[in-house]
A and B are shown apart, each in its own frame.
Chain A
Amino acid sequence: RKEVEQDPGPFNVPEGATVAFNCTYSNSASQSFFWYRQDCRKEPKLLMSVYSSGNEDGRFTAQLNRASQYISLLIRDSKLSDSATYLCVGDGGQNFVFGPGTRLSVLP
């Protein structure tokens, strides 16, 4: 079983929609989680950290569910510029493990 799993998508949503991604992790001892955004042919960039109490940054909300071992990312009022691949990351003990990414396309 892969340590961090994501639905690869693509998620095609209209502008203004709310979209949510989940990411499951297998290491129950994982403590640190992050969401990264990666644009086509560019490097991953940190979007936000995921805290046990949840984390909100403008239109983006990240949640952690330890009981079910998943993290989520909610994007409200999606913009065309939100189109990208979203990578979830969890610590696998010695290092971070990156999920394969979920591709989002926001359509006009």
Chain B
Amino acid sequence: DVKVTQSSRYLVKRTGEKVFLECVQDMDHENMFWYRQDPGLGLRLIYFSYDVKMKEKGDIPEGYSVSREKKERFSLILESASTNQTSMYLCASSLTLNQPQHFGDGTRLSIL
């Protein structure tokens, strides 16, 4: 089974802080994704990566950046956290872009 691990289940940070969310997958998947999920809005793609050091913007990249230095690890960075970034963040990976994605447990991030 694919295992996608997110570093924290719950995280509380303050406005203006730089926040790092880490994600690791153990199935040698090429593609990795970061989503946020908010009530009534569903899953929205922030960034994705289809190879090491490669990144592509999703639908809502503003206020975020990503890093993929190793194939198994994909980091989401909130450069200067704001209260409207309080959300559930989900990392996913897939073998190819047309195969189903497998999700981590999610990180509930609160920005105070």
Residues of B within 8 A of A87 (CB): 42-43
Q: Does residue B41 face the partner (Cβ distance < 8 Å to A)?
A: yes
Stretch at the interface among A19-27, A58-66, A67-75, A89-97: A89-97
Q: Closest CB-CB distance, B7 to chain A, in whole Å?
A: 14
Residue pair A98, B43 in contact (C-beta under 8 Å): yes
Smallest beta-carbon distance A21→chain B, Å: 15
Bound together, the chains give a CA A49 to CA B97 distance in angstroms of 14
B: number of interface residues (CB 8 Å)? 21
Query: A49 to B100, Cβ gap below 8 A?
Result: yes
Contact A101–B42 (Cβ < 8 Å): yes
Q: How far is the CA of A98 from the CA of B106 in the complex (A)?
A: 16
For residue B48, CB closer than 8 A to chain A, the reply is yes
Are B42 and A34 in contact (CB-based, < 8 A)?
no
A31 near B98 with CB under 8 A, answer yes
Asked whether A1 is an interface residue with its Cβ less than 8 Å from the other chain, the reply is no
Taking a contact as CB atoms under 8 Å apart, the answer to whether A43 and B45 are in contact is: no
Give chain B interface residues in 29-61, CB to chain A under 8 Å.
33, 35, 40-43, 45, 48, 56, 58
- Give chain B's interface residues, CB within 8 Å of chain A: 33, 35, 40-43, 45, 48, 56, 58, 90, 97-106
Query: CB within 8 Å of B: which residues of A?
Result: 31-32, 34, 42-46, 49, 87, 89, 91, 94-96, 98-101
A-B contact pairs, 10 of them (CB 8 A): A34-B100, A44-B43, A46-B100, A87-B42, A91-B97, A94-B56, A96-B101, A99-B42, A100-B42, A101-B42
Known A94-B97, A100-B40; further 4 A-B contacts with Cβ < 8 A: A43-B90, A95-B33, A95-B45, A95-B97
